């Protein structure tokens, strides 16, 4: 048997981040992180130690902590996640904040669609902040939609969940705002090796990573009301290309936003008003 501090030493030797190790050990022992810190001489029974060692190996292999714990915080909400969906990232909160800023200037019951909703993170964050907004979350993966639906039910947030591939699942409805964090990594990108545990279909989009963004942009006008905005998350070096795609189909006021790290993370534009 080992003590808490000895177990954490095992984690350090395995190359697992200190915070991750604390969170894994706390989950393993059904204790809080504060309790671990205050009781670092507590002894782990052999069965819990074996579980912890197994979890360390999984984390060291690159499995996301959120999958192991089964949850991830996003924009103030605790979301359940599994390997059917991407792990929500803090970077994506930039997209949500921009959407909420725009919605604050419009009617309270604005129609909003989140394309490729995954765990429902963006749709649920918007609905939580704007209760009167009529939010739709769309995804082609039924497994992902099951995760999103379960999150909505647990958080008591009403979102219209739809199955479909991009605008193909939107029907004939038109929206005041469309947001999306689509796949945008290029096939063969070196970063994919570190993302091997997450669904590939939610990560990559063709040779330049822009295939899905092209589909969204070219089909958007049919599903947006005059003056509606389309906001897209993208890679750190894709803002110019995404802006050009938006301008090419007639969008106005093309602009981008940076995340907290100062990386250009999102680009959006406004559908023209009717003359």
pLDDT by residue (tens digit) across 202-213? 767 677 878 899
Q: How far is CA 183 from CA 8, 29, 187, 193, 200, in A?
A: 36, 37, 11, 16, 9
Tell me the β-bridge partners of 177. Answer: 112, 229
pLDDT value of residue 171 = 75
What's the pLDDT score for residue 246? 96
Share the mean pLDDT of the chain.
Answer: 89
In which band, very low, low, confident or very high, does the pLDDT at 275 lie, cut at 50, 70 and 90? Answer: very low
Confidence of residue 187 (pLDDT cuts 50, 70, 90): confident
Residues 6+ apart with CB under 8 A from 25: 4, 7, 8, 11, 36, 52
Instruction: State the Cα–Cα distance between residues 66 and 83, nearest whole angstrom.
Output: 9
Q: Is a pLDDT exceeding 60 seen at residue 243?
A: yes
What backbone torsions phi and psi does residue 113 show, to the nearest 5 degrees? Answer: -125, 135
User: Between 100 and 273, where is the model more confident?
Assistant: 100
- For residue 102, pLDDT over 80 is answered with yes
Would you place residue 159 in the very low, low, confident or very high pLDDT band (cuts 50, 70, 90)?
Answer: very high
Poorest-confidence range of 101-110, 182-191, 256-265? 182-191
Cα gap 104→101, rounded to integer Å: 5
Q: Which pTM value belongs to this model?
A: 0.90
User: Phi and psi of 32, rounded to 5°?
Assistant: -85, 160
| CA proximity to 95, closest of 252, 242, 259 | 259
pLDDT in tens, 105-152: 888 899 999 999 999 999 999 999 999 999 999 999 999 999 999 999
Can you list the domains of the chain with their CATH numbers?
2-61 (no CATH), 72-270 (3.40.50.150)
The share of the chain scoring above pLDDT 70, in percent, equals 93
pLDDT band, residue 186 (cuts 50/70/90): low
Contacts of 38 (CB under 8 A, 6+ apart): none
**Overall average pLDDT of the 191-218 stretch:** 77
pLDDT at 192: 66
Which residues share a beta bridge with 184? Answer: none
Lowest mean pLDDT, pick from 26-40, 177-191, 223-237 = 177-191
């Amino acid at each position: 048997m080992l003590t808490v501090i000895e177990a954490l030493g095992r984690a350090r030797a395995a190359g697992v981040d200190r915070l991750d190790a604390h969170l894994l050990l706390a989950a393993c022992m059904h204790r809080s992180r504060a309790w671990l810190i205050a009781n670092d001489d507590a002894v782990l029974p052999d069965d819990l130690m074996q579980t912890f060692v197994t979890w360390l190996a999984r984390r060291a292999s690159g499995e996301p902590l959120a999958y192991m714990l089964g949850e991830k915080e996003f924009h103030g909400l605790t979301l359940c996640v599994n390997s059917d969906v991407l792990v929500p990232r803090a970077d994506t909160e930039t997209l949500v904040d921009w959407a909420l800023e725009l919605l604050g200037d419009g009617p309270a019951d604005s129609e909003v669609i989140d394309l490729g909703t995954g765990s429902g993170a963006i749709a649920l964050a918007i609905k939580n902040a704007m209760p009167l907004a009529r939010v739709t979350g769309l995804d082609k993966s039924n497994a992902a939609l099951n995760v999103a639906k379960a999150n909505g039910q647990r958080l008591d947030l009403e979102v219209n969940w739809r199955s479909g591939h991009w605008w193909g699942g939107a029907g004939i409805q038109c929206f005041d705002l469309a947001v999306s964090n689509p796949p945008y990594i290029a096939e063969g990108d070196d970063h994919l090796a570190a993302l091997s545990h997450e669904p590939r279909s939610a990560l990559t989009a063709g040779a330049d990573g822009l295939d899905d963004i092209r589909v969204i942009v070219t089909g958007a006008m049919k599903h947006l009301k005059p003056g509606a905005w389309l906001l897209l998350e993208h890679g750190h070096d894709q803002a110019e290309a995404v802006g050009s795609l938006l301008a090419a189909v007639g969008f106005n006021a093309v602009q981008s936003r940076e995340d907290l790290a100062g990386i250009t993370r999102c680009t959006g534009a406004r559908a023209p008003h009717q003359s």
